[in-house]
Amino acid sequence: MATPKIISARFDEKKAHTLEGYLALGGYATLKKLFKMKPDEVIDEVKRSGLRGRGGAGFPTGMKWSFIPKNTDKPKYLCVNADEGEPGTFKDRLILERDPHALIEGILICCHAVGIKTAYIYIRGEYDFPLARLGAAVKEAYANGYLGKNIKNSGVDVDVVIHRGAGAYICGDETGLIESLEGKKGQPRPKPPFPAIVGVFDCPTVVNNVETISALPWIMTNGADAYAAIGTEKSKGTMLFSISGMVERPGVYEGAFGVNLWKFIEESTGGVKGGKKLKAVIPGGSSSAILTAEEARNVNLDYESIAATGAMVGSGAIMVFDEDTCVVEALEVVLRFYAHESCGQCPPCREGTYWLYEIVNRIRTGRGRPEDIDLMLAICPDMLGRTVCVLADSAAIPAASYIKKFRSEFEAYIDKANPPERKLHPGGINFEARAL
């Protein structure tokens, strides 16, 4: 079967981002059918499709919606998570830039299914161009009756508000996003209560990723069965994979679940850049465990198969290390990221990410001690599952896996007699830089 294009179908259409272009490609066609359906029928359809959240956690979308209380006097909200921030992930950006009306159509489907009248799209602050495209699309949708009151005489009202973030990875966490949307620091909330019960503005809230929402029009048009027929038993449909790092043609590639991971990477991108040898693959963003070249060649790309290796599909951010990529410095870069992005609430994260970073930095700069490697391995479990959100885990999981799978590289840095040859400029580590 040829790779089906569900999310990326219109990415190469020059005018798909405009209402005119979107309509010409069959956009908003599903609304007539949608507004005739009962909300529960829509939820059932989405449940049957097997669609899972594409933001990273992979939670079944229909089930998430069904947790929203039916009989409540409070307003309900949809928060669309466009705070794409997991290093390696750049796929929502394409949807926002090239197919924003698919997102709006998806929002209408979710809002109708759950009984929501206001949707907030939380977009990361750095996404200037996606913000401009999305803003224009929302404006057009309002002007033409696809948003606002009594949409296309259906009696359904949906308002969309675009909310711009201001630079904080943690706002991609669903409760971090909610806090930020409420005008606070984006510090995740302890759960329970879950957002479905107490979400934004203390009201029941659905938080869905851009890609998840954008898959809905296709599912409603083609039916849940058509979607569920793609992929594997538990990983249904397709997903956008952001492939970057040392490959010939980095980019966003839509793939069906269940194919061989390395084969998918190779066929999509042309393989390792410059014909170099493959060293490792990160399959699901920088917070995932790493796969050795051999593991990457032998695993299928679906939630369960990848999870069985200890890694994750996450947000579909695949990063490829070639033979010259230094795993020690890569870990330093990853840990610096998490130390910088820790919101600072929980000590195991606030202090742990910093501690791990300090140690790997000292190893990489030739100041490591033989006991440092085991010290890092001892610290990691104290950061797993100990905090409000999973940012600490996101640092500890790669740290432990890089060390376990490439221990000799770490040891080489510590072995004063044989320090590895430095290939890359030592990227200055500078926390103060943020202060500017």
Partner 1 sequence: MSHARHAIAPSGKPFAFSPDNEAKFAQLLPKYPTKRAVILPALWLAQEQEGHITVEAMEYVARRLEQPAVAVFAVVEFYTMFKTEPTGKHHIQLCRTLSCWMRGYQDLQGLIERKLGIGPGEKTPDGKFSFELVECLGSCGTAPMMRMDDRYWENLTVEKLERIVDACNQGRDPAGEDH
Partner 2 sequence: MVTITIDGNKIQAREGAWLIDVCRENGIDIPHFCYHPGLGPDGNCRMCQVDFVSPRGNKLGISCKTAVAEGMEVLTQSEAAKHARASVEEMLLLNHPLDCPICDKAGECSLQDYYMEHDLQSSRQDFTRFRKEKAKDIGPTLVLDQERCVLCDRCVRFLRDVAGDAQLYIAGRGHEAYITTFPGQEVTSPYSINTVDLCPVGALTAKDFRFGSATWFLKNTDSVCTTCARGCSMQIQSKKDQIYRMRPRENADVNGYWACDEGRLNYKFVNENRLARPFLRRGGETIECSVPEAVAEMRSLLGFKPAGPVDAPSGRKGVVLLSATATLEEMFLFQCLAQEILSAPLFVARHVPDGVDDRLLRRADKHPNAKGAELLGIRLLDLERGATAAAPVIEALGSDGVLIAVGFNTDVAPLDPIMARAKKIVALSGCKNALTDRADLVVPGLTFAEKDGLVVNFQGHVQQLKPALEPAGETEWRVVDLLIASLLGTKPHEFVTQIRKAIQDGVPAFAGVNLTKLLPTGARADARAVAK
**Which residues in this chain contact partner 1 in the complex, by CB under 8 A?**
75, 84-90, 92-93, 124-129, 159, 161, 163-169, 180-186, 201, 242-246, 250-252, 282, 286, 317, 319, 321, 325, 329-330, 333-334, 336-337, 340-341, 343, 358, 424-436
| Cα 331 to Cα 79: distance, rounded to the nearest angstrom | 32
Report if residue 342 touches partner 2, rule: CB under 8 A: yes
- Minimum distance from CB of 43 to partner 1 (Å)? 25
Report if residue 117 touches partner 2, rule: CB under 8 A: no
Report if residue 159 touches partner 2, rule: CB under 8 A: no
Distance in Å from the first CA to the final CA of the chain: 52
| Cα 299 to Cα 313: distance, rounded to the nearest angstrom | 12
Q: Which is nearer to partner 1, 75 or 223 (CB)?
A: 75
Q: Which is nearer to partner 1, 7 or 219 (CB)?
A: 7
Residue written as tokens 């913000």? 131
Q: Which is nearer to partner 1, 257 or 337 (CB)?
A: 337
| Cα 100 to Cα 223: distance, rounded to the nearest angstrom | 21
What's the order of all strands across the beta sheet hosting 205-209? 159-164, 118-123, 77-82, 205-209
Report if residue 370 touches partner 2, rule: CB under 8 A: no
- Minimum distance from CB of 214 to partner 2 (Å)? 31
Report if residue 354 touches partner 2, rule: CB under 8 A: yes
Q: Which does 251 bind (CB under 5 to 8 A by kind): partner 1, partner 2, none?
A: partner 1
- Minimum distance from CB of 330 to partner 1 (Å)? 7
- Minimum distance from CB of 178 to partner 1 (Å)? 10
Report if residue 126 touches partner 2, rule: CB under 8 A: no
| Cα 175 to Cα 180: distance, rounded to the nearest angstrom | 8
Contact predicate 5/249, CB 8 Å: no
The residue within the footprint of partner 2, chosen from 234, 386, 404, 405 (CB under 8 A), is 386
Report if residue 151 touches partner 2, rule: CB under 8 A: no
Report if residue 352 touches partner 2, rule: CB under 8 A: yes
The residue within the footprint of partner 2, chosen from 117, 164, 362, 404 (CB under 8 A), is 362
CB under 8 A, 24+ apart: contacts of 190-199: 190/388, 194/67, 195/79, 196/64, 196/67, 196/68, 196/69, 197/67, 197/69, 199/77, 199/79
| Cα 205 to Cα 202: distance, rounded to the nearest angstrom | 9
How many Cα atoms are found within 13 Å in the side-chain-facing hemisphere of 233?
A: 2
Residues 38-77 binding partner 2 (CB under 8 A) are: none
Hey, what are 214's tokens? 């954008």
Q: Which is nearer to partner 1, 217 or 245 (CB)?
A: 245
Torsion of CA 230, 294, 415, 363, to 10 degrees: 0
What pairs with residue 272 in β-bridges?
Answer: 247
The residue within the footprint of partner 2, chosen from 382, 404, 405, 429 (CB under 8 A), is 382
Q: Which is nearer to partner 2, 168 or 317 (CB)?
A: 168
Contact predicate 284/314, CB 8 Å: yes
Return residues touching partner 2 (CB under 8 A).
168, 170, 185, 189-190, 339-348, 350-355, 358-359, 362, 375, 382, 385-388, 431
